[in-house]
Amino acid sequence: MSGADNADDESGAESDGNGDDRVPVLLVRGDREYLVEPGEEMGTDLGVLDVPEDVQPGDTLETHLGDEFHVRRLRGPDLFHHFERTGAPMVPRDIGLVIGETGIARGDRVLDAGTGTGVLAASMARAGASVVTYERDAEFADVARENMALGGVGDAVDVRTGDVLEELDGLEPSSFDVLTLDTGDAPDVVEHAPELLVDGGFVAVYSPFVESTREVAETAREVGLANVRTRETIQREMQFDDRGSRPSTAPVGHTGYLTIARNE
Ligand SMILES: C[S@@+](CC[C@H](N)C(=O)[O-])C[C@H]1O[C@@H](n2cnc3c(N)ncnc32)[C@H](O)[C@@H]1O
């Protein structure tokens, strides 16, 4: 079970994806939200709730003390709120940019590193891709595998324990449509992108720091990738009140830099 405060809603595909028919669902009551598997027993301060094996979105379930929870289908942004966290997960808007800029879709083969919490890997799988993702920290990799099962994408995401740089030699040439990187050593991996990617495949590198980002962009050009471009991912929240409307004055905005390039 995983609990969190209420998350925003968003559309997204849903399937079991764990090799069985049990699809994890969200149990919601006010600000409380729990991600649970069918058949699980959920203990809260409101009592114990047995989740039926055949639970469906739209159902209402009661704890043994009579408090009700509504059953909701899991959607993309819920992964960010409910996955157990290890490496800093990518925020929903940046995942949107990666998927939008690379066109990730059903049938794509994606190579991803590092897995971290696995929010990006799971989101790409939910968009229909098969993902091979490397995580060099064995404990993080174990947590990521559990997160994939919880996200219903255990079959579509192959979480491999290991340093992606050391594993590159064992990967088939031209066997990936997209390469996604969220690691400090991304420039060293980008060097190999032309061998790894199919013709027309994309690289997407996410980095919070400009130094590594510049190195990524320079490496991408040196190895002959095309359309290399880097953008800061920044967003301003709007504030609407009685005095008027304006961007929120709360400090925000920057989460990272996203470099996109294409193998041509
Ligand atoms: C920022 S997190 C990735 C978060 C992930 N994109 C997500 O959405 O949850 C970076 C992860 O990369 C792993 N890592 C760093 N360098 C690596 C490498 N060369 N090979 C495999 N994993 C690596 C780290 O251990 C860390 O868990």
CA of 89 relative to ligand 1 center, distance in Å: 9
Q: What is the pLDDT of residue 13?
A: 36
Question: Does residue 219 have its Cβ closer than 6 Å to ligand 1?
Answer: no
Q: Which of 245, 139, 259 has its CA nearest to residue 190?
A: 259
CA distance 51 to 255: 37
Give me the mean pLDDT over the 3-24 stretch: 51
The residue among 57, 75, 93 that closes a domain is: 75
Helix (H) or strand (E) holding 96: helix 92-102
pLDDT of residue 249: 79
Q: Which of 20, 40, 75 is the last residue of a domain?
A: 75
- Whether 99 shows a pLDDT value over 90: the answer reads yes
For residue 123 and ligand 1, the question of a CB distance below 6 A is answered with no
Using the predicted structure, report yes or no on whether residue 107 has a pLDDT greater than 80: yes
What per-residue confidence (pLDDT) applies to 235? 84
Contact between 188 and 196 (Cβ < 8 Å): no
The atom of ligand 1 lying closest to the CA of 189 is 19
Looking at the structure, tell me whether residues 52 and 178 fall in a common domain: no
Q: What is the mean pLDDT of residues 63-71?
A: 96
Angle of helix 119-126 relative to helix 92-102, nearest 10 degrees, comes to 50
Ligand 1 centroid to 65 CA: how many Å?
43
- Verify whether ligand 1 is closer than 6 Å to residue 131 (CB atom): no
Domain that holds residue 195: 83-262
| CA 159/CA 134 separation, integer angstroms | 6
Tell me what percent of the residues of the chain surpass a pLDDT of 70.
Answer: 91
Residues 130 and 238 in one domain: yes
Letter string b/e over residues 17-49, b meaning 16 or more CB atoms within 10 A of that residue's CB = bbeeebbbbbbbbeebbbbbbbebebebebeeb
What 3-state DSSP class applies to 35? Answer: strand
Asked whether 125 and 14 are in contact (CB, 8 A), the reply is no
Domain count, the chain: 2
Give the residue with greater pLDDT, 247 vs 61: 61
3-state secondary structure of 204: strand
Our answer on whether the CB atom of 164 is closer than 6 Å to any ligand 1 atom is yes
Residues 215 and 92 in one domain: yes
Instruction: State how far the Cα of 147 lies from the Cα of 118, in Å rounded to an integer.
Output: 7
- The amino acid sitting at 248 is S
Measure the CA–CA gap between 82 and 80, rounded to whole angstroms.
6
User: Residue 165 is part of a domain; what is its CATH number?
Assistant: 3.40.50.150
Kindly state if the Cβ of 136 falls inside 6 Å of ligand 1: yes
Residue 35 CB contacts under 8 Å (≥ 6 apart), including other chains: 1, 2, 3, 4, 24, 25, 26, 74, 78, 82, 150
pLDDT, tens digit, for every residue of 196-222?
A: 999 999 999 999 999 999 999 999 999
| Confidence (pLDDT) at 133 | 98
- The reply to whether 64 and 106 lie within a common domain is no
How far is it, in rounded angstroms, from Cα 237 to Cα 258?
20
Query: Do the Cβ atoms of 137 and 86 come closer than 8 Å?
Result: yes
The tens digit of pLDDT for each residue in 111-120 reads 999 999 999 9
Q: Is the CB of 157 under 6 A from ligand 1?
A: no
Average pLDDT over residues 28-40: 92
- The last residue of one of the domains, among 75, 104, 138, is 75
Strand partners, 233: 256
Return the closest-CA partner of residue 76 out of 60, 58, 89: 89
Q: What's residue 20's pLDDT?
A: 59
pLDDT number for residue 18: 61
Label residue 127 by pLDDT band (50, 70, 90).
very high
Indicate whether 234 and 213 sit together in one domain: yes
Name the pLDDT band for 29 (thresholds 50, 70, 90).
very high
Beta strands in the chain (DSSP E): 2-5, 25-29, 32-36, 41-44, 47-50, 60-62, 68-73, 109-113, 130-135, 157-161, 176-181, 197-207, 226-233, 238-241, 244-247, 256-262
Residues 87 and 53 in one domain: no
